[in-house]
Amino acid sequence: MTKILVLTHDEVEELLPIRECIPVMAEALAELARGNAYQPLRMVITPPGAAGDMALMPSYRSGERAAYGVKTVCFFPENPSKGLDSHQGSVMLFSAESGELMALMNASAITAIRTAAVSGVATQLLAREDAGELAIIGTGVQARTHIEAMACARPIKRVRVASRDFRHARSFAEEFSLRYSFPIEPVDSVEAAVRGADLIVTATTAAEPILKRGWVSAGAHLNVVGSSIPTTREVDSATIAASSLFVDRRESTINEGGDYLFALREGAIGPDHIKAEVGEVLVGAKPGRTSPDEITVFKSLGLAIEDLASADYLYRKAKENQKGTWVEF
């Protein structure tokens, strides 16, 4: 009888620290660029009148560690007001040889960690080497993991954090000031956070732009994380037009990336504005940053292959360290 591995939220966090996840994500994106990963666009169901959406994200990776994976994730935007992550669900790992279920893992934890780790990969590739003035817009789950990812990617000198509610920004700064040696300052506006920053993370639930081109310094790198649907965006069209735009996957961006699609519909950019996928930069097929004054934007949408790579890494590490719960199935 088959035994499957079950990993809880806390076990995922223990076994997949962001510093370890960054190279795992770099490998996954490089494999995608080489054609060794297969994934359709995510399927999203949005029932009329329902409190949330559900997305299905299947993928397959070939090669020595071939496997199937699928993430089933629900997005409930009101969850943070209840003390819950807005993303809830599971990641399942299947054998590429027999199709047997191998593992069931907490998707909330995997999503939080791997999303920030991918931004870490993009920042290592695209931000200036001397970048260290960090602005974080948002104080939710992704903001919390992204401060760690940015600290892994660049030597942070100072952080300014902004939120819709200044009290949240203040609490965030107080909590993370205990963990890091660099100063973390709460500010009362996005503009105050962003001006003078050379690293910017937007991780909000905003539907309309919260960041304007006039606030962004030459040479800055932006990780635009919050929106993953075509009808919302965090960054105005002028910022997208003025930047070199890098993405996790072109197909996903032209179908799901509101920050890109609004700029395209408004005529601010053309359909060829995407400079490269991050994986293409990793394998040397496309260039990254080409000048110190260039503004680079990484539009993150989240990919199923990132969940599969995380689950595979977690499965192997859990076996090696005898972690998790093994269940007859």
* Strand segments (E) across the chain: 3-7, 37-38, 43-45, 53-61, 67-75, 87-95, 101-106, 133-137, 158-162, 184-186, 199-202, 221-224, 244-247, 274-277, 296-299, 325-328
67, 93 in Cβ contact below 8 A? yes
Q: How many CA atoms does the CB half-sphere of 199 hold within 13 Å? A: 31
Question: In one letter, which amino acid is 311?
Answer: A
Q: Does this chain's domain 3-111+305-328 share its CATH topology with 128-302?
A: no
d(CA 25, CA 308): 10
Confidence of residue 2 (pLDDT cuts 50, 70, 90): confident
DSSP state letter for 157: -
Which is nearest to 30 in space by CA: 219, 327, 285? 285
Residues 124-173: tens digit of each pLDDT: 999 999 999 999 999 999 999 999 999 999 999 999 999 999 999 999 99
Dihedral of CA atoms 96, 100, 105, 108 in degrees, nearest 10, equals 60
pLDDT (0 to 100) of residue 1: 65
Q: Scanning the structure block, which residue is given the tokens 């990812």? A: 149
Please enumerate in sequence order all residues whose Cβ is within 8 A of that of 214, keeping only pairs 6 or more positions apart, or say none: none
CB neighbour list of residue 232: distance below 8 Å, 6 or more residues apart: 206, 207, 208, 226, 258
Residue 83 predicted with pLDDT over 90:
no
Percent of the chain with pLDDT over 90: 93
Between 326 and 79, the more confident residue is 326
CB atoms within 10 A of CB 66: 13
Q: What CATH superfamily is the domain 3-111+305-328?
A: ornithine cyclodeaminase, domain 1 (3.30.1780.10)
Average pLDDT, the chain: 96
The hierarchical CATH code for the domain 128-302 is 3.40.50.720
* Cross-strand pairs, 326: 5
Q: Report pLDDT digits (tens) over 243-280.
A: 999 999 999 999 999 999 999 999 999 999 999 999 99
pLDDT surpassing 70 at residue 114? yes
Tell me how far CA of residue 178 lies from CA of 141, 181, 288, in angstroms: 18, 8, 35
Position 75 scores a pLDDT of 87
Confidence of residue 85 (pLDDT cuts 50, 70, 90): confident
Domain boundaries, the chain: 3-111+305-328, 128-302
Could you tell me what percent of the chain has a pLDDT over 70? Answer: 100
Per-residue pLDDT at 301: 95
Sequence-distant (≥ 6) Cβ neighbours of residue 50 within 8 angstroms? none
The string of pLDDT tens digits covering residues 195-248 is: 999 999 999 989 999 999 999 999 999 999 998 888 999 999 999 999 999 999
pTM, two decimals, is: 0.95
Tell me what pLDDT residue 77 has: 82
Lowest mean pLDDT across 83-92, 111-120, 241-250, 265-274 = 83-92
